Amino acid sequence: MQQKHDEAYLYRIFLDPDYHHMSIGLKSFDFLFKKYPSVKIWSLKTPKWNIRTPKFYRKIGFEISKEDEKFLYFTMNK
């Protein structure tokens, strides 16, 4: 995670498929949001080929802010 004042960029987030559907991703984000309450803008990106993650990121409050040929970029304002 890179943090500048009230902004944070999350990168390289992976969860082993054996642990999908166990709320680990949701609990991890809940932990980050509680650990860093001063962060008001959260950002991340995911490759377009990964069709699972956009639905999850939207579910927890992220919105697509930009896209290019390879990635979807997400932002969440707290």
Cα 58 off chain centre by: 9
**What predicted TM-score, i.e. pTM, was given to this entire model?**
0.87
Note the pLDDT tens digit of each residue in 33-55: 999 999 999 999 999 999 989 99
Answer whether 24's CB lies under 8 Å from 61's CB. no
Which candidate, 71, 76, 5, 2, places its Cα nearest to that of 38? 5
CATH numeric code, 2-14+22-77: 3.40.630.30
The domain segmentation of the chain, as residue ranges, is 2-14+22-77
pLDDT one-digit tens code per residue, 20-38: 999 999 999 999 999 999 9
> Does the pLDDT of residue 2 top 70, yes or no?
no
